[in-house]
Structure 1
Amino acid sequence: MKIQSFLLGLCGLMLVGCQATGADTEEKSHVVTDFAEREVSFNNEPERIAVLGNGELDIVYALGKNVIGRPSSQDVPVVQEAVEAEQVGSYHEVDTERLTLAQPDVVFANDPMNQKDLSAIEGTGAEVVLTKANAIEDIKDQISLIGEVVQEEASANHLIDEVELVEAEMKNEPLHKETKALLIYGAPGSNLVALPNSLSGDILEAAGGLNIAADFDQLQDYPQYAALSPERIIQADPDIVFFMAHGDPSAIEESFVQEMAQHAGWSQLPAVKEGNMDVLPADLFGTNPGSRITEAISYMRERLEEVHSE
């Protein structure tokens, strides 16, 4: 009887131990919901991080982490510390071979552009978290999500507070005079007009400017942009024209000016006469600036204020 009691007690202890181990494993499982409403699980905090966009790159470093994989680019990345990281492609073209070599635990990619690449990226052994940035609110949500994934929620909340502080300052101190602006985005020979529902359009609104393209028809394939309409632009008479691009924005300005010079009335616009045509910094406006969105808003406000003070 004593032996039987001992064995029963031992089995009971083993059972409790197994249950405790299972509970510990369950507690370690960390689940996040990304921008595509996908639930992504992590058993441990991801240490090897790869990103396909400069915005996510900036946010990861702003949260005190680093990456082993960064966007492929001929240009120096926004975050200098990431120069030596493996170049693993972009939203447009994922380099799965280099991702496999880098062996990331997690890859931050774009929704919806990288939906088609999910299987290929996951095939490298990494979890995929999809995000996007078509508005300032999206960037704040990106910061929150990435902070949740890398378990730096407090730092993420601090960054979000800084963004909201700048937004509040802009609202509490509106421009003294209405300033109409035109946002041109693209490449030589293919210029588009940024609409209010684009990230740059949202930055313009946050800075207190008025987008003259608010009622332009959006493009089917690029709903944040509209086709260039010289007649409507001349009629709207913007106070300032902003140029932005992934590459050299000055080339965009030259292409746009050449195109517009062919239309009567362009040279008579005050924005043209007074030289209110501004090439926006590519690291703040040619791509998602990440946590540096505060700098982008402040830069835009400064230029809008200069229009009527010159």
Structure 2
Amino acid sequence: MNKKTGFCFLVFISAAIFLAGCGNTVEKTKTEAYLTIQDDAGRTVALDKKPERIVALSTSFLEPLHEVDATVIGCPSSQMGIPEYYKDIEKVGAVYNINIEKVVSLQPDLVIAMKGMNDKFVANLESNNIPVIVLDMKSYDQVKRSLDIFSRITGEEDKGKKLVEKMDKKIEDVKGQMPKETKRVAILHTTAQDVTVQLDGSIAGSVAKMLGFVNVAADAKPLDDNPDAAPYSLEVLVKADPDAVFVTSMGDMQTIKKAMQDNVENNSAWQTLRAVRENHVYYLPQKLFLLNPGMHYPQAVETMAKELYPQQTAEGK
């Protein structure tokens, strides 16, 4: 082999190696995920690109998504929980009756589902090549985790961190105004037909725990169809004799109060409760304690604290 031939051969080999390297780089870029998420159903979800068409299957996700600049194109219809800036986006059925065909027709590049409510749609959506993440968002820690995930989805991690820091500070300010004492509380959930006891996993139970209140029903056996509630027993409640009773409700407040009177308050044993005798029975606003308060968790914490300590929390403002 002469020098000229050898030189040409080396050039050819170098070019081949370079092109092969470029080919590998292109392939890696195509297969590398934009973001990999471990969701609350224990699933690993890889997003190929930044989502630009998001459908949220719960109204609880809407405000946190908006706060980190997500592009939401669809959500459930609801009389409560839809911010004004999302009033005109496409609706995909009622919260408890999602129209999955409508969701698919919107051609989203990400669907965010609520754990325990929308899990059944995951397989159908994935069969249509639509990525799905399943999140649980009842407790404050779950709200913060969801906000962190949303901020990583939109590439606004710094904005997400600042929002969490702001919420944490507001909650700590409220807690700092409260007396250093332990209060034992009961949390009832009432409808026109039924009364249940709320456990620590419920929204009101979560807020009470954050404030350092002791839920007298914390160790009660949950209902089979609701892990955050237990059967109501006035006898058990009288035995526990809490310092305060909080009531959450679904429906018209006047109707709920009448149902409480008919089902609970007219019982003579109810009148023996210390909380009743000392007028420490409080009805909590649905907006903060029926629906997940999300970004308004500090407001929920302040609302519950003010019921028991109106003077201290007011002075701390």
Residue 269 (structure 1) shift: 4.2
Structure 1 residue 143 corresponds to structure 2 residue 147 = yes
When residues 258 and 239 of structure 1 are mapped into structure 2, their CA distance, relative to the original with a 3 A threshold, is farther
Q: Deviations over 1:93-150 (max 9, x none)?
A: 3311210222211111122433322112224442110110242222211111222222
Which residue of 263, 268, 288 maps to 1:264?
268
Q: Contact (CA 8 Å) 2:62, 2:83: kept in 1 or not?
A: yes
CA shift for structure 1 position 5: 5.8
Counterpart pick for 1:184 among 183, 188, 203: 188
Matches within 5 A, 1:106-185: 106-175=110-179, 178-185=182-189
Cα drift, residue 76 of structure 1: 4.0
In the alignment, which of 203, 209, 214 is matched to residue 213 of structure 2?
209
Alignment correspondent of 1:286: 290
The whole-number CA distance in structure 1 between the counterparts of 2:13 and 2:104 is 50
Q: Report the TM-score, using the length of structure 1 for normalisation.
A: 0.86
Compared CA separation, residues 13 and 177, structure 1 to 2 (3 A)? closer
Residue 242 in structure 1 maps to residue 246 in structure 2? yes
Counterparts in 2 of 1:180 and 1:159: CA distance versus 1, 3 Å: same
Question: Per the alignment, in what secondary structure is the counterpart of residue 50 of structure 2?
Answer: coil
Deviations 1:137-183 (A, max 9, x none): 22211111222222222122122222332343355443355444332
Return the letter of the residue paired with 1:101.
S
User: Partner letter of residue 28 of structure 2?
Assistant: A
* Counterpart for residue 221 of structure 1: 225
The match for 1:47 is: 52
8 Å contact kept, 1:207–1:298: no
Q: Residues of 1 paired with 2:248 and 2:308: CA distance?
A: 16
Matched, 1:80 2:76: no
After superposition, the CA RMSD in angstroms is 2.8
SS state at 2:70 partner: coil
**Mean alpha-carbon deviation: is it higher for 211-220 or for 135-144?**
211-220
Alignment partners' CA distance in 1, 2:273 and 2:250: 27
8 A contact 1:192–1:227 mirrored in 2: yes
Larger radius of gyration: 2
Name the stretch that deviates more: 135-144 or 233-242. Answer: 233-242
Aligned residues: 308
For the residues of structure 2 that align with 1:101 and 1:52, how far apart are their CA atoms?
Answer: 14
CA distance in 2 between partners of 1:194 and 1:204 (Å): 11
Structure 1 partner of 2:62: 57
Q: Which moved more, 1:268-277 or 1:291-300?
A: 268-277
**Range that drifts further, 248-257 or 131-140:** 248-257
> Identity over aligned residues, as a percent?
24
What corresponds to 1:14 in structure 2? 19
Contact 1:61-1:79 at 8 Å conserved across structures: no
Amino acid at match of 2:218: A
Greater alpha carbon shift after TM alignment, 240-249 vs 140-149: 240-249
Larger deviation, residues 167-176 vs 82-91: 167-176
Q: Offset of 1:186 from its aligned partner? A: 4.2
Match of 1:24 in 2: 29
Q: Which moved more, 1:114-123 or 1:237-246?
A: 237-246
Q: Kindly indicate whether the alpha-carbon contact (under 8 Å) linking 1:58 and 1:291 is maintained by their aligned counterparts in 2.
A: yes
Q: Is the 8 A contact 1:32 1:39 kept in 2?
A: yes
Q: How far has the Cα of 1:45 moved from its partner?
A: 0.5
Q: 1:297 corresponds to which letter in structure 2?
A: V
Secondary structure of 1:265's aligned partner: helix
Q: Identify the match of residue 97 of structure 2 among 75, 93, 96.
A: 93
Q: TM-score, normalised by structure 2?
A: 0.85
* Residue aligning to 1:199: 203
- Per the alignment, do residues 308 and 292 of structure 1 end up closer, same or farther by CA in structure 2, a change over 3 Å counting? closer
**Alignment match of 1:34 (pick from 30, 33, 39):** 39
| Unmatched runs of 5 consecutive residues or more in structure 2 | none
Contact 2:171 2:302 in 1 (8 A): no
Q: Which amino acid aligns with 1:226?
A: A
Consecutive unaligned residues of structure 1, counting only runs of 5 or more, are none
